[in-house]
């Protein structure tokens, strides 16, 4: 049985998919996940999810959009003057990180 593994690097961050393990039950899956996916990269928590429990919808089922250039949606697309409020900088950083992570795994 295949279990998909999701790793959270730090408290409060999202669990992101990082691979899978073969295991007969949940307990074994957790142990394998800890060994295979929790050792080398910073890990705060892991989720194991039976593959058959995951719902998938792909580009053949539905048109996702995202084919046009939507760079106007990102704070990083605008050059403004002077230092920004820290919450604006934070938001921009989060967007920049999300943009960088697109296509990972």
Partner 1 sequence: MMDLNTVKERAGPREFSPADDLPREYREAATRMIEFHANSEIMGAYLERPFIRQSPSIDRKLAFSAKVQDEIGHGQLLYRAAESLGVKTREEMLDDLANGDGKFLNCFHYPLKSWVEVPMISFFVDGAAMRRQATLRRTSWEPYAHAMDKVCFEEGFHVKHGEDILKELMTGSRKEQQMTQDAFEEWWPRIIQFFGPTDDKSTHHDFAAAVGLKQQSNDDLRNAFLDQYIPKARKYGLEIPDEPRIRERDDGTYAVEEDDLDWDEFFTIAKNEYEPGLGQINGRKQAQEAVDWVRETIEADAPTAGGHEPQAAD
- Provide the binding-site residues for partner 1, judged by CB under 8 A: 70, 72-75, 77-82, 84-88, 90-92, 94-95, 98
Angle in degrees, CA 102, 42, 101, rounded to 5: 5
Task: Closer to partner 1 by CB, 39 or 87: give it.
Answer: 87
Shortest spacing between CB 66 and partner 1, in angstroms: 13
Tokens 């920004």, located at residue: 84
Shortest spacing between CB 4 and partner 1, in angstroms: 23
Shortest spacing between CB 71 and partner 1, in angstroms: 10
Shortest spacing between CB 89 and partner 1, in angstroms: 8
List, as one string, the DSSP characters of 10-42.
STTSPPEEEEEEE-SSHHHHHHHHHHHHSSSS-
Question: Which residues lie below 8 Å from residue 96, measured CB to CB, with a gap of 6+?
Answer: 74, 76
Sign of the torsion formed by the C-alpha atoms of 83, 89, 92 and 96: positive
Task: Closer to partner 1 by CB, 31 or 71: give it.
Answer: 71
Task: Closer to partner 1 by CB, 24 or 79: give it.
Answer: 79
């Amino acid at each position: 049985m295949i279990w998909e593994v999701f790793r959270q690097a730090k408290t409060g961050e999202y669990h992101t998919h990082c691979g899978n393990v073969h295991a007969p039950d949940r307990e074994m899956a957790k142990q394998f996940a800890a060994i295979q996916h929790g050792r080398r990269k910073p890990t705060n928590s892991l989720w194991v999810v039976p593959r058959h429990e995951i719902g998938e919808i792909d580009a053949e089922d539905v048109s996702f959009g995202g084919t046009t250039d939507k760079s106007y949606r990102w704070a990083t697309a605008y050059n403004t003057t002077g230092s920004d409020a820290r919450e604006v900088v934070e938001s921009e950083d989060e967007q920049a990180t999300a943009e960088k992570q697109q296509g990972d795994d």
